[in-house]
């Protein structure tokens, strides 16, 4: 178990770094304080980590004025300079990986091992951004394909959209910041970032690296505070040309309503299915499912929430999976042996616990888990959950997976598609024909064959359909979202 000394050592590791940005936000190239502050606490212990300014509408207006000027500065930066800055920040993240990982674990919900994995991904994401900044181009128009257009030649350029508002969640407080800030800067925009109020320090420390790498003042600004105080101002202003948001569907809908006519890139969560066919390698499937279902305590949009198992292997899968889930070590985030950490808040814990109890009251059976100990909810596996229940239809954002049997592939696809989300889906099978049929029939932005829904490569197009949102992330894809194509056509003089 983690000892008091271990926690103290971790705090000592990051205390100087947090002290460097504590009580400040990054505006107009300066670290600014405010009379109003928010306490940032470890959700596991409740201990105070630090404070950040509670920005208001006036701060948003000041940041927008700076960003509107800084977009010209960013646009004028040559691509090799954008690439150099992004590469330098990527290397900085790698060099201080343990500090970043400890900050992620302290302020958020990830175990130290999960946090280290996120730091590695962040460095990779920023390195991809540095590479793409050098080769971001469009195909030129082929004017000769239409009669009467002969004698013309042209180019298509991708111009920076201008000011990007980026709003990030608590569950990936570093890499999801990189996925918004990195592509936006690589494409030549100015960015106003609003990290989640519970996990701001990862983003602030990343901004410090951008500052040290020589990013011009005002090109990146970080506003801290509550989304309810800042959200409308950050998205509605006409100077904002793109809004990039990761979070829940209801908040995304409010953002879309407030933003008006501008580009939106909204990743709004999922209710991801994973299908296990009778011909699958069950040992491989169960191992992947146990990880994909309870990574970050299920507080993950790719979380394996709905597990569909072909009836002929249901008993074998449940026996293996129940044993695997029951063996997961739940406990202190900073303990290297911990597999799953805490829930983000008391309110979230109460919500998840209430959902489990309600499902059981309606006939669901607990295969394992369902207990709660303060900020920890045991990894929970349920069967016989009514298909009308929120645990089946909505995003739970907690360590709960529901199991449903099916008879054939058509039945599995019907069940998988029968919700209002379409982010990612997984299927385990040894049949190429089954894999091809499922990949075409499943309503999802990504279909993973012989993997769970809980996989993402940071360069791939990432997003979904239905209530899962609009637009795509993934470095090059996000750069396109943050750009406007322009055609320049030259015609032979007549």
Inter-residue contact 472 to 463 (CB < 8 Å): yes
CA distance 413 to 460: 24
Dump pLDDT digits (tens) for 266-286.
999 999 999 999 999 999 999
Place 151 in a pLDDT band, splitting at 50, 70 and 90.
confident
Average pLDDT for 369-380? 96
Res 1: pLDDT: 43
User: Looking at 132, 197, 267, 353, which residue is catalytic?
Assistant: 267
Which class is 4-268+469-485 in CATH? Answer: alpha beta
476 pLDDT above the threshold of 60: yes
Share of the chain above pLDDT 70, in %: 98
**What is the DSSP secondary structure assignment for residue 87, as one 8-state letter?**
H
Q: Where are the domains of the chain?
A: 4-268+469-485, 272-458
Distant-in-sequence, close-in-space partners of 192: CB < 8 Å, separation ≥ 6? 60, 63, 64, 67, 163, 164, 165, 166, 221, 222, 223, 234, 240
Phi, psi dihedrals of residue 269, rounded to the nearest 5°: 100, -175
Res 5: pLDDT: 55
User: Looking at 122, 272, 301, 342, which residue is catalytic?
Assistant: 301
461 pLDDT above the threshold of 50: yes
Tell me whether domains 4-268+469-485 and 272-458 share a fold: no
421-422 and 465-466 strand pairing: antiparallel
How would you write 375-425 as a 3-class SS string? Answer: CEECCEEEECCCCCCHHHHCCCCCCEEEEEEECCHHHHHHHHHCCCEECEE
Dump pLDDT digits (tens) for 60-106.
999 999 999 999 999 999 999 999 999 999 999 999 999 999 999 99
Dump pLDDT digits (tens) for 296-337.
999 999 999 999 999 999 999 999 999 999 999 999 999 999
Res 2: pLDDT: 52
11 pLDDT above the threshold of 80: no
Q: Within the chain, how many helices (H) and strands (E) appear?
A: 16, 23
CA distance 494 to 485: 28
CA distance 313 to 191: 50
Beta bridge partners of 164: 191, 242
Let me know if 129 is a catalytic residue.
no
Inter-residue contact 441 to 413 (CB < 8 Å): yes
Phi, psi dihedrals of residue 367, rounded to the nearest 5°: -85, -35
Place 215 in a pLDDT band, splitting at 50, 70 and 90.
very high
Give the residue among 218, 76, 108, 235 at the shortest CA–CA distance from 166: 235
288 pLDDT above the threshold of 50: yes
With 0.85 as the threshold, say if the pTM is over it.
yes
Average pLDDT for 234-246? 97
Dump pLDDT digits (tens) for 396-439.
999 999 999 999 999 999 999 999 999 999 999 999 999 999 99
Task: Report the chain's C-alpha Rg in angstroms.
Answer: 23
Q: What CATH number has the domain spanning 272-458?
A: 3.40.309.10
Average pLDDT for 433-446? 98
380-383 and 365-368 strand pairing: antiparallel
CA distance 355 to 333: 24
CA distance 443 to 163: 33
Let me know if 138 is a catalytic residue.
no
Place 231 in a pLDDT band, splitting at 50, 70 and 90.
confident
Residue with tokens 């993950």: 300
Backbone dihedral region for residue 397 (phi beyond 0: left; psi -120 to 50: alpha; all else: beta): left
What value does the mean pLDDT of the chain take?
Answer: 95
Burial 470-479 (b: 16+ CB within 10 A, else e): bbbbbbbbbb
Res 420: pLDDT: 97
395 pLDDT above the threshold of 70: yes
Res 232: pLDDT: 87
């Amino acid at each position: 178990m983690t000892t008091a000394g271990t926690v103290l050592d971790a705090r000592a590791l990051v205390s100087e770094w947090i002290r460097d940005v504590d009580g400040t936000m990054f505006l107009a190239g300066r670290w600014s304080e405010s009379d109003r502050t928010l306490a940032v606490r470890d959700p596991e212990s409740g201990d105070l980590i630090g404070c950040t300014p509670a920005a208001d509408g006036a701060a948003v207006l000041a940041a927008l004025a700076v960003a509107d000027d800084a977009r010209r500065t960013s646009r004028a930066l040559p691509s090799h300079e954008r690439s150099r800055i992004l590469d330098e920040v990527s290397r900085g993240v790698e060099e201080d990986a343990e500090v970043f990982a400890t900050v992620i674990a302290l302020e958020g919900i990830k175990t130290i091992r999960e946090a280290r994995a996120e730091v590695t991904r962040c460095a990779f994401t920023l390195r991809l951004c540095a590479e793409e900044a050098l080769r971001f181009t469009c195909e030129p128009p082929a004017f000769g394909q239409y009669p009467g257009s002969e004698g013309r030649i042209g180019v298509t350029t991708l111009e920076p959209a201008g000011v990007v508002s980026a709003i990030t969640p608590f569950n990936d407080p570093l890499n999801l910041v990189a996925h918004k800030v990195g592509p936006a800067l690589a494409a030549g925009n100015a960015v106003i970032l609003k990290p989640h109020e519970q996990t701001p320090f990862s983003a602030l420390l990343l901004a410090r690296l951008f500052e040290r790498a020589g990013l011009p003042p005002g090109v990146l600004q970080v506003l801290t505070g509550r989304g309810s105080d800042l959200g409308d101002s950050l998205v509605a202003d006409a100077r904002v040309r793109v809004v990039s948001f990761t979070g829940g569907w209801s908040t995304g809908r409010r953002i879309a309503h407030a933003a008006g006519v501008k580009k939106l890139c909204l990743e709004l969560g999922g209710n991801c299915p994973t299908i296990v066919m009778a011909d699958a390698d069950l040992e491989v499937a169960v191992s992947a499912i146990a990880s994909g279902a309870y990574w970050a305590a299920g507080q993950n949009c790719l979380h394996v929430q709905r597990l569909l198992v072909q009836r002929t292997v249901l008993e074998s899968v449940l026996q293996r999976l129940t044993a695997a889930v029951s063996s997961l070590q739940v406990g202190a985030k900073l303990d290297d042996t911990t597999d799953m950490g805490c829930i983000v808040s008391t309110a979230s814990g109460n919500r998840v616990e209430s959902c489990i109890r309600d499902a059981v009251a309606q006939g669901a059976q607990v295969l394992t888990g369902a207990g709660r100990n303060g900020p920890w909810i045991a990894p929970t596996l349920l069967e016989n959950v009514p298909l009308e229940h929120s645990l089946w239809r909505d995003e739970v954002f907690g360590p709960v997976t529901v199991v449903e049997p099916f008879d054939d592939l058509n039945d599995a696809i019907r069940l998988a598609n029968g919700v209002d989300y379409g982010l990612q889906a997984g299927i385990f099978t040894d049949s190429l024909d089954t894999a091809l049929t499922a990949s075409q029939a499943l309503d999802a932005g990504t279909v993973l064959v012989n993997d769970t829904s809980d996989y993402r490569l940071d360069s791939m197009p990432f997003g979904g359909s239905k209530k899962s949102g609009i637009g795509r992330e993934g470095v090059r894809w996000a750069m396109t979202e943050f750009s406007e194509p322009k055609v320049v056509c030259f015609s032979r003089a007549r």
